[in-house]
Amino acid sequence: MTDSSRSEPEPEAGELVRPYVITRGRTLPTENEFSLITLITTATDQRQRPQRLSPEEQQVLEMCSSGYLSVAEIAAHSQHPLGVVKVLLSSLAEGGYLITRAPVPSASLADRNLLQEVLDGLRTLSG
């Protein structure tokens, strides 16, 4: 009894590359280094570009060469897991091939008493 579906290889099986291979065994950078909204672009000095890059690193540099992309956008366009993208970005940033822009920290809330005093002062002035 022969099953014809077993004789044909699955097209997706050949394309599977383990994250460990892509990252060359490197671990995730610190959590503060790259958030989902950290912006990334390539360094302007093309002479810095390394001679030998993995295909995934080349893909990241190519994506970022036309302007700023967020870490989330890079992960979505490359179709790699977020952790893998963070490792690749960390490696490229350490080598000086990328420029990163951290997200602007949230502003602290204004003091409610101060706002009330300003409002009271404006009401007094307006009459």
Tens digit of pLDDT for each residue in 6-19?
555 555 544 555 65
Q: Could you give the CA distance from residue 53 to residue 55 in angstroms, rounded to a whole number?
A: 6
Instruction: For residue range 71-113, list pLDDT tens digits in order.
Output: 999 999 988 888 888 888 888 888 888 888 888 788 888 889 9
Q: 0.85 exceeded by the pTM?
A: no
